Amino acid sequence: MRSDGSQSAPLSLKIAAACGLLFLHLPILLIFVYAFTTEEKSFVWPPPGLTTQWFAVTWNRPDVWQALSLSVRVAAISTAIALVLGTLCSAAVSRTKFFGRETISLLVILPIALPGIITGIALRSAFSLADIPFSFWTIVLGHATFCVVVVYNNAVARFRRTSGSMIEASMDLGADGFQTFRHVVLPNIATALLAGGMLAFALSFDEVIVTTFTAGQQQTLPIWMLEELIRPRQRPVTNVVAMVVVLVTLLPILAAYYLTRGGDQIAGSGK
Amino acid sequence: MSLDAAIQRATAPAILPGSGGVRGALSDLFWRRPKVLLLLMLLPPVLWLGIVYIGSLFALLAQSFFSIDEFSGLINRQFTLKTYGDLFQAANLDIILRTVTMAALVTLASAIIAFPIAYYAARYARGRWKALFYLGIMLPLWSSYLVKIYAWKLILAKEGILTWLFGKLHLQWLIDAWLSLPVVGGNSLSVSFTGTFIVFVYVWLPFMILPVQAALERVPGNLVEASSDLGASPGQTFRNVLFPLALPGIVAGSIFTFSLTLGDYIIPQIIGTSRLFIGQAVYSQQGTAGNIPLAAAFTVVPIVIMGFYLWGAKRMGAFDAL
């Protein structure tokens, strides 16, 4: 056996790995085919014919647009809140050692470590105890809570790699704390924050379990899809929406990957 | 008053004048008393998570000690363990047992499917292939959860691609034989436990691959070579060298697959039988049944199970592999 570490893998391993990756990707690709099928009433394969008419039909559906707009607004505001809270928390945890530091990390990770249903029902029962009616803001409240962790993870990884002496140098050269933050700290963590923000956006945009508990009558896009999954009314429209959702979530993930690659921790490796 | 100013007065003129105003004062305060800055930085996130999240969790746990009046349907706000007693009714024990069994099987299957992918990505993939593998795992991980379930609804439907494929291969009898089995079978794959199982494995698989890959990447390549130089067959090397070293990664991944399966209620609702899982029980108890105390008690089950699981995982060193 050569020992330069470049020997090729056994065939069985190659096949097993390839099959595993196919298992992960083929189902998603199938969605793309179904978006063009002419069949309306069932999920029949192979599709009897191909058409693009469903894109036009979906385009003219006000309920899809409303759900999409609600999802985008919720995701944008949750991401903004998560960016502020996550950055503050990561800066505090990585800059200094203090009593209860581990507890803070645990506190941030907990909303995503516990099953979503627990977060959801806990928030819902708290709303009902406090007599808070369901609204746009109750959805945001839930989403921001579990989005903090992705921003936090990305920012902590970046802080770990930036040297604290740069801040001291900046202060020695006469910058005050705010100038140091603006001209030294922020440029250093900007791409990590951008990546974390995009992942938080994707996470919020896609979230359904917590949302079912914290949304009243309003429908985010995932809630709209869930309704269609439980009681299919118009399958072709659902197919098109599913395809668009795949494409829309693809872009932030790719962008986040390119922003943080080469680092010791690449964005998104812990959802 | 700034630090510069203090020095200025004591010794020679400073290079830079001290910055004045509120901004300067704040900046100086943060520099001289880092604790104040730390406190200000920690306050918003801790208040948010502490009040919104931990507060809600405690509110929920508190409700599990209430009980519901069976006649009026009103919640009786007095401390009682009766609701926890209700958990041990046969029907509820059934639900818990079913969920835990499913979570264990899903974890096992994910580990088996994940290992070759993680192993190839960690030891053989280089350069462009490495990036491709990484994205190949990351994209399904981040793809929409509902879209993934929807894709399987398409695949497992009676008229769907799987039936078509098995028909083309003249293996239709295989599906029929499997579906006629008790427990795992059903009318079609999309309304059987087999379907639920497949979708769970599919959706949580990336959560298993990543930590296993991370653990395998830390295994020095020369250990494997040493093992084969000393005469071990590839099988022996795997059993005695690779597997024990990858185990913390597998345990770390299993935390995700196990916990996520325990708490999920959407997958078994869309693809599966009418028999409930813990998540569905919680959902229906708090929704249609209006029995928040029992729903709260039900959520304590996965918390307790995961508590023990995490304790065991920590002893096996799984947290270093995360």
Q: Retrieve residue A165's tokens.
A: 């002496």
For chain B, the structural domain boundaries read 85-321
Sorting pLDDT into bands at 50, 70 and 90, what band is A264?
Answer: very low
Winning range, highest mean pLDDT, from A72-81, B162-171, B274-283 = A72-81
Do the Cβ atoms of B45 and A85 come closer than 8 Å? yes
The tens digit of pLDDT for each residue in B106-130 reads 999 999 999 999 999 888 888 788 8
Nearest to B198, CA basis, from B137, B135, B153, B146 = B153
DSSP code of residue A9: P
Contact A115 B50 (CB under 8 A): no
For residue A45, give the 3-state DSSP assignment: coil
Q: Number of CB pairs < 8 Å for A and B?
A: 263
Q: Scanning every residue of chain A, which has its alpha carbon at the shortest distance from the alpha carbon of B265? A: A117
**A82 in reach of chain B (CB within 8 A):** no
Q: Which of A92-106, B88-102, B256-270 has the lowest mean pLDDT?
A: A92-106
Strands (E), B43-165: 67-68, 75-76
* A:137-176 residues touching chain B, CB 8 A cutoff: 141, 144-145, 148, 171, 174, 176
User: Bigger pLDDT: B282 or A112?
Assistant: B282
pLDDT of A266 strictly over 60: no
The yes/no answer to whether this complex scores an ipTM above 0.95 is: no
Has residue B287 got a pLDDT over 90? no
Mutation site for A-interface testing, chosen from B1, B3, B22, B49 by largest number of A Cβ within 10 Å: B49
Percent of chain A with pLDDT over 70: 94
Contact A208 B145 (CB under 8 A): yes
Q: Do A85 and B116 touch (CB under 8 A)?
A: no
Place of tokens 């009980």: B67
Which residues of chain A have a CB within 8 Å of the CB of B258? none
- Which of the four pLDDT bands, split at 50, 70 and 90, describes residue A72? very high
How are beta strands B75-76 and B67-68 bridged, if at all? antiparallel
Torsion of CA A59, A64, B260, A111, to 10 degrees: 120
Look at residue B15 in the predicted model and tell me its pLDDT: 56
Q: Is A246 helix (H, G, I), strand (E, B) or coil?
A: helix
Calculate helix-pair angle for B172-179, B161-168, nearest 10 degrees: 130
pLDDT-derived band at B322 (thresholds 50, 70, 90) equals: low
CB contact (8 A) between residue B19 and residue A96 = no
The answer to whether B257 touches B241, Cβ cutoff 8 Å, is: no
Q: How far apart are CA A260 and CA A188, in angstroms?
A: 12
Secondary structure E strands in chain B: 67-68, 75-76
Q: Residue A108: its chain B contacts at CB < 8 A? A: 45, 49
In tens, the pLDDT along B136-186 reads 888 888 888 899 999 998 898 888 888 888 888 888 888 888 888 888 888
Cα–Cα distance measured from residue B75 to residue B239, given in angstroms and rounded to the nearest whole number: 55
**Number of Cβ within a 10 Å radius of residue A22:** 12
- Give me the domains of chain A, ranges plus CATH numbers: 9-51 (no CATH), 59-260 (1.10.3720.10)
* HSE, side-chain direction, 13 A CA sphere, residue B121: 26
Q: Shortest CB distance from B155 goes to which of A6, A25, A27?
A: A27
According to the model, what pLDDT value does residue A80 have? 95
A10: left (phi over 0), alpha (psi -120 to 50) or beta: beta
Among A14, A114, A121, the residue with its CB nearest the CB of B282 is A121
Pick the residue from chain B with its C-alpha nearest to A9.
B124
Most confident region among A15-29, B66-80, B175-189 by mean pLDDT: A15-29
CATH superfamily of B85-321: MetI-like (1.10.3720.10)
* DSSP β-bridge partners for residue A50: A37
Q: Helices (DSSP H) in chain B: which residue ranges?
A: 3-10, 21-32, 34-47, 55-63, 82-87, 90-123, 128-142, 145-156, 161-168, 172-179, 193-217, 221-229, 234-237, 243-263, 266-270, 278-286, 292-315
Counts of helices then strands in chain A (DSSP H, E) = 12, 0
Average pLDDT over residues A159-182: 80
Interface with A, mutate which of B47, B134, B147 (most A CBs under 10 A): B147
Give the chain B residue nearest A105 (alpha carbons): B46
Please give the backbone phi and psi of residue B76, each rounded to the nearest 5 degrees, phi first. -95, 110
A76 in B contact zone (CB under 8 Å): no
CB contact (8 A) between residue B202 and residue A17 = no
- Is the predicted pLDDT of residue A8 greater than 80, yes or no? no
| CB-CB under 8 Å, B155 with A115 | no
To probe the interface with A, which of B29, B31, B53, B65 has the most A CB atoms within 10 Å? B53
Largest CA distance in chain A: 73
Nearest chain B alpha carbon to A200: B142
Q: Is the CB of residue B298 less than 8 Å from the CB of residue B285?
A: yes
Is the separation of the CB atoms in B302 and B263 below 8 Å? yes
Predicted pLDDT at A7: 62
**Are A17 and B121 within 8 A, CB to CB?**
yes
The residue with tokens 């039936």 is B163
Residue A22 pLDDT level (bands cut at 50, 70, 90): very high
d(CA A66, CA B195): 33
Query: What is d(CA B302, CA B44) in angstroms, rounded to the nearest whole number?
Result: 30
pLDDT-derived band at A149 (thresholds 50, 70, 90) equals confident
DSSP-based three-state secondary structure for A249: helix
User: Mind listing the pLDDT tens digit for each residue in B2-43?
Assistant: 555 555 555 545 555 555 677 777 877 777 777 888 888 888
Chain A positions touching B260 (Cβ under 8 A) are 115
Reported confidence tier of residue A4, pLDDT bands at 50, 70, 90: very low
User: Considering the entire predicted model, what is its pTM?
Assistant: 0.83
- Confidence at residue B4, expressed as pLDDT on a 0 to 100 scale: 56
SS3 label, residue B67 = strand
Token pair belonging to B84: 């926890």
Is A177 in CB contact (< 8 Å) with chain B?
yes
CB contact under 8 A, A242 and B205: no
Q: Which of B266, B259, B271 is nearest to B318 (CA)?
A: B259
What count of other Cβ atoms lies within 10 Å of the Cβ of residue A134? Answer: 16
pLDDT of residue B196: 94
pLDDT at B26: 80
CB contact under 8 A, B263 and A118: yes
Closest CA to B145 of B264, B252, B283: B264
**Cα maximum dimension of chain B:** 95
Q: How far is CA B140 from the centre of its chain?
A: 15
